[in-house]
Homo-oligomer: A and B are copies of this chain.
Amino acid sequence: MFIHETAIVSPKAKLGANVTVGPFSIIHDNVELGDDCHIEAYCELGKENGNTGSSPLKIGRNSLIRSHSVFYAASTIGDNLQTGHRVTVREHSQIGTDFQLGTLGDIQGFCEIGDYVKCHSNVHIGHHSKVGNFVWIFPYVVLTNDPHPPSEVQQGVTIGDYAVIATMSVILPGIQVEPDTLVGAGSIVGKDVPTGRVFVGNPAKDVCAIEKIKLKTADGGQAYPWRRHFHRGYPDNVVENWKFEFSGNDND
């Protein structure tokens, strides 16, 4: 355990083995960090507000929170969290293992996020979003929730497993993006995206099946479902399953 001498760490916080806390960071009472977590500089963890009650912020083992980040109390996040700089995670979010949240990411709270979700820089996840497993969300994507803002109606977005939302897209309130889908860059998505389809444009339209998109590599195989070819950062047993899923099925 290494707590920098300038950090302010509550004696009530529960820090696992080998946790490090960087300069000028603040850990409030209501924080539970698993073993081997690293908190960089200028972070504030466990902030309370009127919604948090006495629920703790729990973050699993082997997590890395980069500098200038803020996490509220009353959220639970699995092992191997990795954030960029200056992320915000508000209260009452349930997040799985191996979550990646890029620089400037903003999780508004009251969300459910699965395992192995990867958000690139500057992603905004609105209240009541439900994100599956193995989802990719690229820079400047916004998941919205109010169908006629401002109102008291909140219709969170649902994103299915393995879906990919490309840069600068907006998913409108209550929309379901089904599994194994691709939303192209700059899309404004106001219709549900069925499994296996590619939606692009403003407003987003169904343009083709995901199998139509070829890899820009020498072999030119199918680019989607991306788990056919992209395995970096996933555990061996998961990758083995993916390989088996697509064995004898390479109709490129």
What is A's interface to B at a CB cutoff of 8 Å? Answer: 6, 8, 23-24, 26, 41-42, 44, 67-68, 70, 84-86, 88, 103-104, 106, 108, 118, 121-122, 124, 126, 136, 138-140, 142, 144, 147-153, 155, 164, 166-168, 170, 172, 185-186, 188, 201-203, 213, 215-217, 223-224, 226, 229-230, 232
Residues of chain B with a CB closer than 8 A to A148's CB? 213, 215-216, 223-224, 226
Q: Cβ of B215 and Cβ of A151 under 8 Å apart?
A: yes
Residues of chain B with a CB closer than 8 A to A188's CB? 168, 185-186
Q: Which of B23, B153, B185 contacts A215 (CB 8 A)?
A: B153
Q: Cβ of A106 and Cβ of B122 under 8 Å apart?
A: yes
Q: Cβ of B138 and Cβ of A140 under 8 Å apart?
A: no
Closest Cβ of chain B to A105, distance in Å, is 10
Q: Give the number of times this chain occurs in the complex, counting copies.
A: 3
Closest 10 CB pairs of A and B: A186-B188, A148-B223, A168-B170, A150-B230, A202-B202, A147-B216, A170-B185, A186-B202, A142-B167, A170-B186
Residues of chain B with a CB closer than 8 A to A153's CB? 215-217
18 inter-chain pairs at a CB distance below 8 angstroms, sorted by A residue, are A8-B23, A26-B41, A42-B44, A68-B68, A68-B86, A85-B88, A86-B88, A88-B103, A108-B121, A121-B124, A139-B144, A148-B215, A151-B226, A152-B232, A153-B217, A168-B170, A168-B188, A186-B188
- A70 CA to B68 CA, complexed, in Å: 9
Q: Cβ of B44 and Cβ of A67 under 8 Å apart?
A: yes
Residues of chain B with a CB closer than 8 A to A8's CB? 6, 23
Q: Cβ of B223 and Cβ of A151 under 8 Å apart?
A: yes
Residues of chain B with a CB closer than 8 A to A108's CB? 121
Q: Cβ of A140 and Cβ of B124 under 8 Å apart?
A: yes
Q: Cβ of A216 and Cβ of B155 under 8 Å apart?
A: yes
Q: Cβ of A85 and Cβ of B103 under 8 Å apart?
A: no
Residues of chain B with a CB closer than 8 A to A147's CB? 216
Q: Which of B44, B167, B202, B229 contacts A144 (CB 8 A)?
A: B167
